[in-house]
Amino acid sequence: MSSLIFVQLLLLGLSVIDTTTDTWRHCTDLLPLDLLSFVLERDTSRLLPGVQMRQSGGVRGVHFSSPHTSMSFSSSQLLVNCDLFPKEFSIVVTLKATQIVPKRNEYIFSLMEAKKEEKRAVEEKEEEDDKGNIFERSKERGVSGEREKKQGKNNEGRMILGLRLSRKRLHFVFKGHGGVIENWVFRGTLADNQWHTLVLAVGGQHVRLTVDCSSPQEITPSRHFPSDLYIQGSRFHIGSRGKWKGLFSGLMRQLVLVPGSDASHQICPSSNPQLAALSVPPFLLDLPVIGRETNSHLTSYGLEERVSVGLEQPCSELLRGQLWFNPLRKGLYLCDGRGWTTVLEDHKRLDYVLEHQVLTTSSETHDVEVFQVSGMGLMAAMAHRSTASGSGVYQWTHTGFELYQNISTQGALALRHFNMGKNVFLVVSNSPTNNGFKSEGDFSVIYKWSKRRKQFVKFQILQTHCARDWEAFTIKRQTYLAVANHRIGNNNHTIDSVIYKWNRLTKSFEVHQKLLTSGAYDWEFFTVGPYHFLVVANAFDGVTTSVDSVIYIWLNGSFQVFQTIKTFCATDWEMFQIGSRVFLAVANGHRLYGNGPSRYAINSTIYELDMNGQLFVRFQDILTYSAVDWEFFSLGEEYFLVVANSFNGESYSLNSILYRWQGYEGFVPVHWLPTIGCSDWEFFSSKGESYLIYSSAKASLSKVFKLKIY
């Protein structure tokens, strides 16, 4: 579940301070810490000294050529405001190791004491035993399950904890009670020149190792992992222990520290368990590049020449030698480290997405909805920010959309059309406080289409709170409306969102159920077989955007929790089906915790419903830029997703991307559409032609694109 987690460089206030008798502070409630990305992405324009990018089997990894200081950093940069290492945690690593010589140990990572606090510790005597069952706990001194504990004159030094690999064992070493170095050992051949994803989970009474999403192997140590492991002044070393001796000689693709949980549940099951991903550095997710051999001993990895295919590709020093084929230009290009050099090119070009209309609107637009009205044809309603002109209803003509009716709104945020029988309704959420106006309370208005007046007229007013979305659905011929209440005031985001039910007697919508949400941004209703689901996009709880979004299932007349999924400022859910497969795509807006910096370039994720496991599992990660919407559509037998990229941290003018379903490969980018503060996409058809329209939350315009089909 491709590149999902990049660690904030400044996680101020992230830890919950637990005062012990000696005032040391525990690290708790931390987000997953992507150790590999942290060091590799300090300078994205080049690889750091001591690191080389290699590929094997079409998969990228990094090779450590030296224990350079660039692969080391202070633990306080990630484990902020805490003195003690987490008591429970997981380590997720994806690696490929060749056969390691006997009596040699290679460090995947280590945490070392500061030199000034260096204490003499223990040098473990490493015995190699090729016999025994795979991943069994080693038996020391003839006693099964006992920890390896040796003290003597051959002391090693500054080790606090580390994960190392030998020829037929995986070792987790740490400084235990009384400063004794302990070694928990799992037997098994991992140095077999194959990719493997390992999850080592430490917590409670047990220690578990999961390899390639197989059944976990478990040991019960006689003494638990220490709860008072002091780490102030310590340093992480990636791929080594800070020395040439013990330098990891294989390829590493992923290294994540997950405090407080067993991360195997986050990445398993997986369609590719050997490469199951929690967080992979972005540049390792791209198509492989042509490697340049600089060390003869690397030839064993079998570097492959690969050609990337797409309409746009970056070229940098990292991608020197990469070949790129552009299917529209029918051109082949070579990256020289600075730009693309033409190898072959056909100057004929076919644009299959054409700009059809630039629609000038009265103000910025937060939402657009396209629907049919009997006798009127195709209509589009747009939630405009301006109070002076209100929101607009547009009619489709032979030239495009033209303004048909203005609706009085105040800081409109969202709208939704729905039908009941032959009647057409439109519900619009107003948020005067969001638009700089003071109000005792926000409200939403339901409009009904008047066949006599041929206009939408006010029908019912409902109390809402900065409502970001409305969802209309029918269960057993009964109509419901769900509103996503975002916040009350500026600080209260954990509030009730409401499900309304149509009362045939009073001819109005009445409260049916309240569901507690955290900065709710979107509802998505869908049905699978006889079951009805409703999923909410929770965006913010007042402190962090890392919150659980919730999938509800309809049981006995109300919605009950079915599954929770960790999201990051979730702004939209899109459900779609391809054949018999059911998917849910979430648009993640940005990463934020407290007063720390925001990160807008993050993964949005597609989940697939596992019919056997009866839950949604990660299918594909896609890098997006403050994504606020997904739109799924099909043309013939082809399936597409388009994302609304709204902001990259510096500019609102950036490309939103159209993806095409490629079966086993998932969705791949095929077209880049220039947008300005894109807030919504809608797909529609008219007279056999297909179109996309997007609304802008930062400019007084919307654009219609025509999809050319050949």
CATH classification number, 33-124+149-279, choose in 2.60.40.10, 2.60.120.200, 3.30.70.660, 3.50.50.60: 2.60.120.200
Which of the two residues, 527 and 230, has the higher pLDDT score?
Answer: 527
User: Which of 64, 61, 45, 49 has the alpha carbon at shortest distance from 289?
Assistant: 61
Provide the pLDDT for residue 679. Answer: 97
Please, are residues 610 and 583 in contact by the beta-carbon 8 Å criterion?
no
Mean pLDDT (whole number) for 654-660: 93
The pair of structure tokens assigned to 316 is: 């940098």
The pair of structure tokens assigned to 158 is: 């500054």
Provide the pLDDT for residue 414. Answer: 95
For 369-382, write each residue's pLDDT tens digit. 999 999 999 999 99
The pair of structure tokens assigned to 361 is: 């609107």
Position 430 pLDDT exceeds 70: yes
Quick one: pLDDT band at residue 11, thresholds 50, 70, 90? very low
Between 80-89, 231-240, 475-484, the lowest mean confidence (pLDDT) is in 80-89
Position 336 pLDDT exceeds 60: yes
- Pairwise CA distance, residues 417 & 382, whole Å: 11
Provide the pLDDT for residue 513. Answer: 97
Domain 353-707 has CATH 2.130.10.10: yes
Provide the pLDDT for residue 151. Answer: 38
Provide the pLDDT for residue 389. Answer: 86
Provide the pLDDT for residue 25. Answer: 67
* Residue 50 main-chain phi, psi, to 5 deg: 85, 5
- Residue 357 makes CB contacts below 8 A (sequence gap 6+) with 399, 400, 401, 703, 704
The pair of structure tokens assigned to 591 is: 């990463």
Per-chain mean pLDDT for the chain: 82
Position 276 pLDDT exceeds 50: yes
* Domain ranges (residues) in the chain: 33-124+149-279, 315-349, 353-707
Mean pLDDT (whole number) for 507-523: 97
Quick one: pLDDT band at residue 295, thresholds 50, 70, 90? very low
Quick one: pLDDT band at residue 264, thresholds 50, 70, 90? confident
Mean pLDDT (whole number) for 461-470: 95
Quick one: pLDDT band at residue 435, thresholds 50, 70, 90? very low
Provide the pLDDT for residue 17. Answer: 35
Percent of the chain with pLDDT over 90: 50
Provide the pLDDT for residue 306. Answer: 55
Quick one: pLDDT band at residue 133, thresholds 50, 70, 90? very low
Mean pLDDT (whole number) for 614-643: 93
Position 509 pLDDT exceeds 50: yes
Quick one: pLDDT band at residue 641, thresholds 50, 70, 90? very high
Listed in order, strand segments (DSSP E) in 14-77 are 33-34, 51-56, 59-64, 72-74
Which of the two residues, 638 and 316, has the higher pLDDT score?
Answer: 638
For 56-66, write each residue's pLDDT tens digit. 877 888 888 88
- Residue 83 makes CB contacts below 8 A (sequence gap 6+) with 24, 25, 26, 230, 231, 232
Position 290 pLDDT exceeds 90: no
Q: Do 33-124+149-279 and 353-707 share a fold?
A: no
Q: Which residue has the tokens 């076919």?
A: 350
Quick one: pLDDT band at residue 345, thresholds 50, 70, 90? low
* Residue 420 main-chain phi, psi, to 5 deg: -130, 105
Mean pLDDT (whole number) for 383-395: 93
Provide the pLDDT for residue 441. Answer: 53
Provide the pLDDT for residue 301. Answer: 35
- Pairwise CA distance, residues 231 & 81, whole Å: 11
Mean pLDDT (whole number) for 464-480: 96
User: Which of 701, 700, 683, 702 has the alpha carbon at shortest distance from 692?
Assistant: 683
Position 6 pLDDT exceeds 80: no
Mean pLDDT (whole number) for 326-339: 73
Mean pLDDT (whole number) for 301-325: 65
The pair of structure tokens assigned to 254 is: 């992923």
- Residue 310 makes CB contacts below 8 A (sequence gap 6+) with 324, 326, 327, 668, 669, 670
Percent of the chain with pLDDT over 70: 81
For 684-700, write each residue's pLDDT tens digit. 999 888 999 999 999 99
Position 653 pLDDT exceeds 60: yes
Quick one: pLDDT band at residue 475, thresholds 50, 70, 90? very high
- Pairwise CA distance, residues 555 & 559, whole Å: 6
Provide the pLDDT for residue 103. Answer: 67
Mean pLDDT (whole number) for 449-461: 96
382-418 residues labelled b (16+ CB within 10 A) or e (exposed): bbbbbbebbbbbbebeeeebeebbebebbbbbbbbbb
Most confident of 66-75, 110-119, 520-529, 586-595: 520-529
- Pairwise CA distance, residues 479 & 489, whole Å: 30
Mean pLDDT (whole number) for 43-49: 62
The CB-side HSE value for 362 (13 A sphere, CA atoms) comes to 24
Sheet with 494-503, strands from edge to edge, namely 467-475, 478-485, 494-503, 508-518
Position 651 pLDDT exceeds 90: yes
